[in-house]
Structure 1
Amino acid sequence: MSFANFLSGLKTKAGELKTEALKFKNKDFLNAAMAGSALIAMADGNVSSDEKQKMVKFIETHDALSIFTTSDVIKAFGDFVSQLEFDKDIGEAKAYQALGKMKSNGEAARLLVRMIIAIASADGKFDDNEKRVAVKIAKELGVNPAEFELA
């Protein structure tokens, strides 16, 4: 093996490590985003295809999350929705626990609130149940709901 091939291999491995490190670093944000998405999508009793599409589009276009595959995003979202459907109380506890991990990161917390409002509005309505969940999520994240005209 030539030195050039060896160097090329090292660069490839370094790139793979960086990608893996970024995934690990943002795993909590992905889980928080999917937990918030599931909570807000389930607020009105069902998850519309508009809400799902809005959530996937947000993830695909956000730099910190674009490193995740769409299948990773859908799986995480599906897991939170399934937990909420199976046992609402336990599902909510797990979702709010995932959201709570972002409380110390104000920038991420505000981004999450903007995202869940966009998802809730994807079907053209932002009803009282969705607003109530959005307020609860904002408070869980340590963000004043009034910043987003929720209070």
Structure 2
Amino acid sequence: MLEWLKTNATAARDKLSAEVSKFKNREFMEAVVSGCALVAAADGNISSDEKQKMVGFIQNSNELKAFDVKDVIKSFNEVCAKFEFDQQIGRAEALKSIGQLRKKEDAARLLVRVCCAIGSADGNFDESERAACRTICNELGLNPGDFDL
């Protein structure tokens, strides 16, 4: 009986830690998803290469590993749906989410690097995608020149 309690207490503690970690990083996850969608939609088309690049980042990111890939993809699809409904509404909602990282420079810089990688995922980091990344930099108070934009 005592062993069962120890085992279940450890499992419960681990689950709680994972849940706390999710809430702690949710803001970053939503900002990354929004930034990726903003860049991916910049050329009017969200390509499968851009989606795959984002999924790869999610699977390898220490910052997002607390999240189930399915949850992040669901969030990405929700943001993309806003762009499909209305480009301006999608853009405004994405920038609102991105702006939450304004005072978190390390997270903000990582967000811009991820967005640049998403923009170049299809082999062509075109001007509309660069402009979206510059907009993200401006929203975060970062210098676009620091990212060769």
User: Where on the TM-score scale, by shorter chain, does this alignment land: which range?
Assistant: over 0.9
Letter in 2 for 1:9: N
Aligned: 1:68 with 2:67: yes
1:2-151 paired onto structure 2 within 5 Å: 2-150=1-149
- The alpha-carbon deviation at position 71 of structure 1 amounts to 1.0
- The alpha-carbon deviation at position 7 of structure 1 amounts to 1.2
CA displacement 1:91-123 (0-9 Å, x = unmatched): 111110100111111000000000000000000
- The alpha-carbon deviation at position 51 of structure 1 amounts to 0.5
Secondary structure in 2 matching 1:122: coil
- The alpha-carbon deviation at position 33 of structure 1 amounts to 0.4
4+ residue segments displaced more than 4 Å: none
TM-score by length of 1: 0.96
Deviates more, 1:52-61 or 1:84-93: 84-93
CA displacement 1:26-75 (0-9 Å, x = unmatched): 11111000000000000011011110010010111011201211211111
Instruction: Give the Cα–Cα distance (whole angstroms) in 2 for the partners of residues 16 and 104 of structure 1.
Output: 29
Instruction: Give the Cα–Cα distance (whole angstroms) in 2 for the partners of residues 53 and 66 of structure 1.
Output: 16
Runs of 5+ unmatched residues, structure 1: none
Q: CA RMSD in A?
A: 0.8
Instruction: Give the Cα–Cα distance (whole angstroms) in 1 for the partners of residues 95 and 10 of structure 2.
Output: 40
Runs of 5+ unmatched residues, structure 2: none
How many residues are treated as equivalent by the alignment? 149
TM-score by length of 2: 0.97
